[in-house]
A = this chain, B = another copy of it.
Amino acid sequence: MQPIPVAILGATGMVGQRMVEALVHHPFFRVTALTGSERSVDKRYAEAATWRLAGDCPPQLADWIVRPTTPDALPAGTRIAFSALDSAVAGSIEEQFRAAGFAVVSNASNHRMDADVPLVIPEVNPDHLALVDGRRGFIVTNPNCGIIPVAMALAPLQARWPVEAATVATYQAVSGAGYPGESAWDMIGSVHPHAGNEEDKMAVEAQKILGAKDSAAPFAVSARCVRVPVADGHLVAVHVRLKGDPSPEDAKAAMREWTGKAPELPSSPRPLLVVTERRDRPSTRFDVDRGSGMTCTVGRVERCSVMGLKFFALAHNTVRGAAGAAIANGELLAVTGRLG
């Protein structure tokens, strides 16, 4: 396969840096451009983007000049625009790139609920990509970082015992807020409710992902989202009512057997779900990096006296929940021949 030329929109932020980290050596993709806001344009990437991840800015891209975030600023032939843009600006910019014929693979929330935009976790609902069939320019999105462990853990259950309702409480890492994001003053030895609209996003996104490509699943999800002093990794506590009321043992077996619906993808790990029997796990620091951050860890799958079943699930919020999610979606587009 010829390397597919891709650009990273909004490459200077935390999700953008995670994309840079993952794409600098990728079996399918070759980065052609890094874009930024006015403040960053025409600067060296390493200067525009103070590196916020471990180690240093990849030296291969450090000297690249940041380009404006417009379709005509990208080198000819660039096929995918991976969008790590902030939702404050992503809406119209992504539409411009779509209009210009790009496959926009976005982590931003703006277009997730559009009827013609698939909201995809490759292993969960790859068939939703059919929404873009036959188009050259389109937008494909991945879900909010908080719903990803919920959706991944529910996917193998939903296949046999449809979800009827769920209450969810999250333990969300600070990297979910980007950089600088949460103030250290607020997070030292403290937790607090997430002030944004995460709880609403979790409800509607779960319904779209776990539904059919043109009709949302009908269950209710009521979430409480809380920020905790953790760097990376969103843990969720899920209480769920499933049609058929499976036992914890049956639920665990379904999770362990689950291989997902996607074809083989570079970013999709084996196993997808690790189900641990340790009573004190999943624990963020110790489980977040499984499968290079793309495996979801589930634990304490137990009877719930109110809803029937309860469990914990954990996923890396800026890898499986953001940059890696988008890249896996890009891989799925490539493997399914939708970039032709």
Measured CB to CB, the nearest residue on chain B to A168 is B169
Copies, count: 4
Interface size band for A: 35 or more
Which residues of B lie under 8 Å from residue A85 when comparing CB positions? none
Which residues of B lie under 8 Å from residue A14 when comparing CB positions? 185
Q: Are B222 and A281 in contact (CB under 8 A)?
A: no
Q: Are A281 and B192 in contact (CB under 8 A)?
A: yes
Q: Which of A36-44, A65-73, A285-293, A322-330 contacts B (4 or more CB under 8 A)?
A: A285-293
Q: Are A224 and B312 in contact (CB under 8 A)?
A: yes
One digit per residue, 1 when the CB lies within 8 angstroms of any chain B CB and 0 when it does not, for chain A 250-282 equals 000000000000000000000000001001111
Which residues of B lie under 8 Å from residue A195 when comparing CB positions? 279-280
Given pairs A53-B286, A189-B285, A229-B229, 16 additional interface contacts (CB within 8 A): A52-B286, A54-B285, A169-B169, A177-B184, A186-B280, A188-B229, A190-B285, A192-B281, A192-B284, A193-B299, A193-B300, A221-B305, A222-B305, A224-B239, A228-B228, A229-B230
- Top 10 closest pairs, chain A to chain B, by CB: A169-B169, A189-B189, A192-B283, A180-B183, A190-B285, A224-B237, A182-B184, A184-B187, A195-B279, A174-B184
